[in-house]
Structure 1
């Protein structure tokens, strides 16, 4: 397990590298100038991330002769809205950046999604650089080109596919995350094992503590996760087929986020995914597709890590099951009103179920809530 790993996302002329290692942030300026000589950039970040990492990044960009224009936004999921999108767009245009210049996202998934959306629509598409500072962003949202904002109808319902030109994942910056944020990101790491890599899930069961504490296990886990996502994105860039597998746990999870009004005090994305993955495995067992033993194993591991695993773990309670089902029906994978879920036949045996009856989901949720 090396200190730095490079993962390629193979998309022909739009291929790009993910550089994973403990010095990626300090070396950002040199890496960017070498790959994109003469580029200027708008740096979009939030107040929390800026307090830890903005100075290091700007110093690196300055040293490489890269003109940078920072914009600092409020932290939190509620920043992913139309008002903040226009703030980013106006900033990029007021700095007179051109199509060949870049929007650089320094932050977690919220900043990456928002800045990427702006990069995709300003001047009909600018260059985009991801410098993810959360575990969740490093293994998931910074890779694959999905960008967007939330609406009152649900999460990530407005956006575009816009691939980055480079991803710089500094594993050392993860030490500045709270325990809760790191655990939330870990849910997305475990997801890759549960989709189709049972040996990776077993490795995580043995090595998660070392991965949490840093060192080569952390780099290894992030690299495996990025390779897994890169291979799926290369096969199905715009989620017309197999890429939907990456949403294991997300159909339930996004509904739970919407039901809690995107209040990060009650639930953050990775926590919703953790509960959603347990629900997906239990729903699969409920439908006689998988074993309850596997569902128990998934729940046990995520609980050991410190993640919520049950609906009752969500502070403040949830609305009626009918309301939860309405949120599920807003999921982006719904086709002609038919519910699509990622279900499983066991650990690492996930599949796309295209026509799940809503009444079955309702019955399952009602039974789950009463147990």
Structure 2
């Protein structure tokens, strides 16, 4: 019998949607090409209602309603993150990501956040205006472990180190062929799903959702001369985000192309030594799956039964959770055109009923 939902990728988005659907009684299988936790343990580990520059850009592109929905999705996702990781850290987020620090525009973003249900204020400083909100901060490795455990506890089956080889849609079911990544395991697998959610970009609908080529950001961990107490975002300079991690700090640079990443990494390290008095530097890089005017790319495909979530690598905690939460809503019936079919809903109801009786017994 075909699964109700097959999720491609044990990413933050994939595990989030798997957990929510499995908790409702649906039969969910997750296929992932990496070792446990690897696909979800990425990004800077900071979640917030939004970034000033992103929301300002989205307001221009989609209007206030589109930006407001984005903020509300993020707030719902933040509640989801708190549920998965009650012991996370909450910090002040000082957001100076709007170019020029325009005070009027910053106040408009703050008002939009308050309308969505978040607390937000504007601080003036010599360089302009900063938007002040709250951020959730997690260790990405720990969150990946907690999220996978929550998905499995809800009833999802998660299989790692398998690569999808082909997909075929026939009579309302998508057949997914896959193989084990171990060279000496020759057996191929084949499963079916009423709905298939692609968070890896390996399906026709997932590939079509790509907005553009990947971008890159330099990252470094360091020990600043003075400990940081807030998460900060910056519009200019080599650093885009500075996040405290105990006595250390994670510094995330601005977006660059692959050809510029080495120079950007060196420039970020030089800046950290000069501006932060940083020592014990460890440098690296992260890839970014381009977003749609700041929104993660997520939705239902024109191909029946196909859904996709394309994240944003550095912000995977926020974007992945919001995308997974949104997709679960689509499949659970928030959008009737995309809801799982009646027989899946009836089977899920029966599963929930049996689970409830088992808990009572």
Whether the TM-score (by the shorter chain) exceeds 0.5 is no
Higher normalized contact order (CA 8 Å, seq sep 6+, divided by chain length): 2
Q: Larger % of helix: which?
A: 1
TM-score scaled by structure 1? 0.24
Structure with max Cα Rg: 2
Q: Larger % of strand: which?
A: 2
TM-score scaled by structure 2? 0.24
